[in-house]
Structure 1
Amino acid sequence: MPLEIAFHGMLMPGLLPVFVGCLVLMVLLDLAFGRLGLYRRVWHASLFRLALFVCLFGAAGLLLVR
């Protein structure tokens, strides 16, 4: 994975596309979990959302490391 990506003359961190992808996946999972009523079964919904995003982003970042 490149450390930096050149985009229209700007240098962006290499994990930025991974972050955006995990953010989109998190929004989809959030909608699905809300419709299924999963958030009624967790202690703190906001902490659960944050922990789920951290796990998704951490796993995706580790999968892309050389």
Structure 2
Amino acid sequence: MPREVAVFDAHVPAIVLLFIAGAAVTWLLDRVIAYTGLYRIVWHPNLFRASLLVCVCGVLGLAVYR
């Protein structure tokens, strides 16, 4: 994947697009976790959500830039 992607004639860094995709995936995972009730066993749900976002974006970044 190139380092910059042209979106409507504006060059956007690819990592920004990966972050947007990661946020969408994290939102879907958050809904699934909330629906199944797994947040009852998590000590701090907001911290868990933030770390889930970091992990998902990290995996996407490694998958693309490897």
TM-score scaled by structure 1?
A: 0.89
Off by >3 Å, runs of 4+ in structure 1? none
Alignment correspondent of 1:28: 28
Distance 1:4 1:34 in 2: 35
In structure 2, runs of 5+ residues without a counterpart are none
* Matched residue, 1:45: 45
Query: SS at the partner of 1:47?
Result: helix
Q: CA deviation at 1:37?
A: 0.8
Aligned residues: 66
Q: State the percentage of identical aligned residues.
A: 39
More helix by share: 2
TM-score w.r.t. length of structure 2: 0.89
SS in 1 for 2:12: strand
Q: Does 1:15 align with 2:21?
A: no
SS at match of 1:30: helix
- Partner in structure 2 of residue 65 of structure 1: 65
